[in-house]
Structures are given as C-alpha cells and as structure tokens.
C-alpha cells in the first residue's frame, strides 16, 4: 500500500471518529436528562460508529500499515482523543 492510500484510510478513520464524537455529545445529554427514546435511537447509531472505528483501525493493523498500538490509542479508555492517534499514525506512515 502506498502512502496516498494510507492517508486516505486515515482520513476515513478521522471522519468516522469525528462523527462518532459529535454523536456522543447529544447521546450523553439525552442519557443525563432521562430522554430514553432519544437514547434508544442514538445509542445504537453510536455503537455502530464505534464498531466501524474499531474495525477500520484493526484492518490497518492487520495489513501492518500501522502497529497494534494504533487501535489501542484510538479506542483506548478515553477514545475521544482519537485524533491524536490519527496524527501520530499519519506522521509515522509518512516516514521512509
């Protein structure tokens, strides 16, 4: 895989991560305000987005495009700092 393909994949991961993060905010607000109907809609959507994020990161690791550290960094304990992981992976994929 060339660097352009790796950058495109990282951009897809970045978009999924941003959308997942943006969806998390109204989900948490709805959960804290006991809006169960909203949570029952947004929860599964957020779950699918998170699984897509994990899958995309694992796919790149399986292809040895980045190490196993990348999925752990992206979906770690506070998976919202995933953009930091994307920047680190983008930088390391550009090294010769």
Name, in order, each residue with C-beta under 8 angstroms of 85's C-beta and a sequence gap of 6 or more.
Answer: 70, 73, 74
Q: Where are the domains of the chain?
A: 3-93
Task: Write down the pTM of the prediction.
Answer: 0.69
Name the more confident of 56 and 6: 56
Q: What is the pLDDT of residue 81?
A: 47
What digits encode the pLDDT tens for the residues 24-69? 889 888 888 888 898 899 889 988 988 888 888 888 888 877 777 7
Token pair in block for residue 86: 């994307």
């Amino acid at each position: 895989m060339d660097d352009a393909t790796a950058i495109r994949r990282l951009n897809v991961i970045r978009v999924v991560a941003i959308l997942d993060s943006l969806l998390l905010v109204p989900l948490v607000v709805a959960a804290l305000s006991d809006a169960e109907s909203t949570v029952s809609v947004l929860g599964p959507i957020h779950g699918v987005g998170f699984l897509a994020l994990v899958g995309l990161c694992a796919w790149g690791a399986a292809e040895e495009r980045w190490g196993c550290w990348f999925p752990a960094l992206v979906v770690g304990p506070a998976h919202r700092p995933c953009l930091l992981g994307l920047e680190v992976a983008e930088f390391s994929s550009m090294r010769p």
